[in-house]
Amino acid sequence: MAQYPGGFKHPDMVEIGKRHKMDGMIQKAQENFAKRKFRDSPEIVEEMARLVGRSSMVSMFEKPKFRDFVKSLNGLERESLASGLRDRLHGNQQKGFDTILDVLQSRKLAKWSLISILPVYFNPDEEVFVKPTTAKGVITHFELEGLTYKPQPSWEFYVAYQQAILKMKSKVRKSLAPNNAAFTGFLMMAMREGM
């Protein structure tokens, strides 16, 4: 707050926020992944590729890999991926996570950023984006007990990390946490400043 009075309303933070286009990405995810849209699995999977491709939070190296991955899927795999996202957003979240993970693992593409980005756009106040360097830094810097980062995504780690982020977020001013992605971005910046 000393460096950025007003938190995310500070002009420098507003500029950083513009690069991420969170409001637009949230709106697109909520429109395109509404429950009624899941009747069309091929379109859901294409929209997944489009949103990942537009995401400023996903590495430029992972975006084309994900696009090519989607193109390579057969009908059954597309159906499975869409079903996993439907469960993840509208049903049994763990089942959805595991289904998406299985499909990504089939092509050696099981990355935290790819498995966590779409839920955070769809439900930005509940879901968390797991960026490996940020997650490892948060765990170490804030001495979060019982949390050990592993590169292989797992539901158990996701839930524990999500709970830690939500607890931390509940203890700061709303100006520092307009949504969970912004809050973890703030933590990342705060860790950099403190080093």
Residues 33 and 77: their CA atoms lie apart, in Å, by: 18
pLDDT of residue 172: 80
Distance in angstroms between the alpha carbons of the first and the last residue of the chain: 17
Residues 89 and 126: their CA atoms lie apart, in Å, by: 11
pTM, 2 dp? 0.88
Q: What angle do CA 157, 53, 38 make, to 5 degrees?
A: 75
Average pLDDT of the residues in 92-105: 98
Q: Which amino acid is at 89?
A: L
| Helix pair 75-90, 112-122: axis angle to 10 deg | 50
Would you say 141 and 192 are in contact if contact means Cβ atoms under 8 Å apart? no
Element (H, E) at 70: helix 62-72
pLDDT tens digits along 39-62? 999 999 999 999 999 999 999 999
CB atoms within 10 A of CB 82: 27
Residues 176 and 99: their CA atoms lie apart, in Å, by: 34
Under the banding of pLDDT at 50, 70 and 90, the label for residue 2 is: low
- Of 118, 50, 54, residue with least CA distance to 84: 118
Residues 104 and 12: their CA atoms lie apart, in Å, by: 37
Please check the confidence at residue 67 and state whether its pLDDT lies above 50.
yes
What is 118-137 written as a DSSP string? HHHHHSTTT-----HHHHHH
pLDDT tens digits along 78-89? 999 999 999 999
pLDDT tens digits along 156-193? 999 999 999 999 999 887 777 778 888 888 788 777 65
pLDDT of residue 5: 61
Residues 174 and 68: their CA atoms lie apart, in Å, by: 39
Give the domain ranges of the chain. Answer: 7-194
pLDDT of residue 112: 97
Average pLDDT of the residues in 88-97: 98
pLDDT of residue 188: 80
Please check the confidence at residue 194 and state whether its pLDDT lies above 60.
no
